[in-house]
Chains A and B, each alone.
Chain A
Amino acid sequence: MTSVPRPRPGRDDAPDRLYTLTGGRSRSDSAAFDLVTLVVAECEPNPGMQSEHVAILRMCDSPTAVVEISATLKLPVSIVRIMLCDLLDTGRISARHPRTARVADRLPDTDTLEQVLVGLRNL
């Protein structure tokens, strides 16, 4: 099933492509986007927009996790985070960050865990 090697996102791309997507920038605030932050589009794509931005807005018609955007666009998570920052700055998306604190690997509260248990048992 996974025996056919599929090109990994990022690795086999021309570095130029990744550089162009972000303008070669890094953004410290991009860390606010967790792997499972859910992104929601707040506008329709415009004709003049960068094609990746268009794809993100289309995908995020319903809430979509950062990691799903990364997998669908075949781009490394860090690149996607920078593009999401740009879209957030211009009000084109909103972000629903996880309620579980990501500052430290501390234990979640029992209410959250109970909800997870109920959900898993109902599978």
Chain B
Amino acid sequence: MDSATSDRAALQATADNGLKIVVVGGFGVGKTTMVRSVSEIRPLNTEETMTRAGEAVDDLDGVHSKTSTTVAFDFGRITLDERSVLYLFGAPGQERFWFLWDRLFSGTLGAVVLVDTRRLADSWYAIDRLEHHGTPFIVACNDFGGSFHTEQQIREALDLSPDVPLVECDARDRSSSKYVLITLVEHLYALSVARSKGADAALAGSPAPAATMTPEPTT
């Protein structure tokens, strides 16, 4: 216990706001590598279990067979300033993981879908689920030195909407991983600006002209 706590860099006493970003991807795609390359602590690993009552989770009347769902994930940490700390979670995109999404990752800023261009189909399910949960995300292709794909080929293979940013990266490289995170947060920023403009226009009672719904071309 003592050894576990002593190599843990303590947060500043003023830290009071935790933030989350999730890196989703299949096994071996480099999630932990990316978390490690930007984290200020050695990535830690933990687990959540949940007992679900069959399919009808909220049904209090019936007796259902219970199934236990267990999901392991790892995480790292980035101190942003004296009050805010960003936690970066590496999570497997497998089916059972999504049962725990609301419980673990609601309130997350957004997600990075990390893909291996040699195994693009592995990411379909994660992209589908993120869209379903309404979580904004970007796609980052980890460079494994596979054969060259154009951006258009990758977008088509992933059936990716044109407004979802797609970047290449080397998850082992700190500045490359940092760039991925910045791209995600810039994307979130553009979405947030666009949404608040839309809301303002709606409040003013005037139909929002198409131009005000478009994010400013800041990037």
Distance between A28 CB and nearest chain B CB, rounded to angstroms = 13
Q: Is the interface of B mostly helix, strand, loop or mixed?
A: mixed
- A-side contacts of B47, CB under 8 Å: 8-11, 70, 76-77
Q: Is A4 close to B, CB under 8 A?
A: no
| Complex contacts, B8 vs chain A, CB 8 Å | 59, 68, 72
Q: Is A102 an interface residue (CB 8 A)?
A: yes
A77 to B193, CA, bound (A): 34
The answer to whether B46 touches A107 (Cβ under 8 A) is no
A55-B1, A110-B192 known; A116 vs B80 contact (CB < 8 Å): yes
Q: Which residues of B contact A78 (CB under 8 A)?
A: 48-50
Pick the interface stretch among B55-63, B82-90, B113-121, B138-146.
B82-90
* Chain B residue at minimum C-beta to C-beta distance from A109: B192
| Min distance, Cβ B65 to any Cβ of chain A, angstroms | 18
Q: Which residues of A contact B70 (CB under 8 A)?
A: 8, 10-11
Within 8 Å CB of A109, what residues of B? Answer: 192
Q: Are B5 and A116 in contact (CB under 8 A)?
A: no
Nearest A residue to B49 via CB reads: A76
Assess whether B45 is interfacial by the CB under 8 Å rule. yes
Chain A residue with Cβ nearest B108: A105
If A98-B17, A105-B106, A116-B80 touch, does A71 touch B12 (CB 8 Å cutoff)?
Answer: no
Some 12 contacts from A to B, beta carbons below 8 A apart, are A9-B47, A37-B18, A55-B1, A68-B77, A71-B44, A77-B46, A96-B15, A98-B17, A105-B107, A119-B79, A119-B86, A120-B80
